[in-house]
Copies of this chain bind each other. A is one copy, B any other.
Amino acid sequence: MQALVDAARRKESVLVAGLDPIPSRFPEELRALPEAEATLKFCLDILEAVEPYVAAVKLQAAFFERLGPAGMGIYADLIGAARDLGLPAIADVKRGDIGPVAAAYAEAHLGLYGATSVTVNPYMGEDAVLPFLEEARRRSQGGGVFVLVATSNPSSREVQETTDPPLFEIITKLVAGLGRQSGDYPDAGAVVGATRPEIGGRIRELLPEALFLSPGYGAQGGAVSTIRPLLDRRDGGVLVNSSRTILYAYERSAAGYKEAAREAAREAREELRLAGARL
């Protein structure tokens, strides 16, 4: 995870900008273009606009997959463009399969497409996580794996919290058992939604050293107050993702989409910095 940590320290920012390109929300001036072209231009513009204020970018693979093979070409181009700007890319793929299948996904996203880190779904257990960790270790690019533990959406509770012990505890222990120290954090991190602070606090107790990736900041209701319980004892350990609040900031602004996104990223980074969050 050291590539993320180094970038966060250099930028004094724990903010991750999520690229969720949704063509129906693109600004007017891009809507005349073909979807693939508009997606590439929009994302490149956003990358440049937010670069000064973010530690990394997270690409939501579904929005590229939706565009077919050409969309995966754009996904590759954007990971490359982020790298050129000094931004490590987190491939938000949430893949969850086993053995050679998981290894093929890991090879695709951490190898061929060149993301530094990846999100992984643990429903199939350790077999679903290890091949990604092994690929990240082989690549030695300072990356790692963020395992879904407690996600930010409402219906996840039914699955992740209602059993005894709660599923999120089982997955938390799985993450603790699989990670290896690599720089300042273990290479197995956790996705812990910013919308569930009480659960997040318990996960932090069980994983005192791990790096969390925390979605749900902004649009989904996460805020500085809901991030605080997730921090480790040095106010560290959390990367905060914001996607649509940054990308579509222009919808609530008189500014153009680039300036609006830049300003939204600057504000979120500042809010988190003033709250003391850092890596």
Q: Given A65-B104, A98-B153, A123-B96, are A165 and B167 also a contact pair (CB < 8 Å)?
A: no
27 interchain pairs, CB-CB under 8 A: A60-B101, A62-B104, A62-B105, A62-B108, A63-B104, A65-B108, A66-B104, A66-B105, A66-B108, A68-B72, A69-B70, A69-B73, A94-B96, A94-B97, A94-B121, A96-B123, A96-B148, A121-B123, A122-B159, A124-B153, A125-B157, A127-B153, A127-B154, A158-B170, A162-B170, A163-B166, A164-B164
A98 to B163, CA, bound (A): 21
Within 8 A of B (CB), among A16-69: 20, 22, 60, 62-63, 65-66, 68-69
* Interface members, chain A 184-239 (any B CB < 8 Å): none
Identical chains in the assembly? 2
Main secondary structure of the interface of A (DSSP, over half): helix
Contact residues on A (Cβ < 8 Å of other chain), bracket = 35 or more
Interface residue ranges, A against B (CB under 8 Å): 20, 22, 60, 62-63, 65-66, 68-70, 72-73, 76, 94-102, 104-105, 107-108, 112-113, 121-128, 148, 151, 153-160, 162-167, 170-171, 174
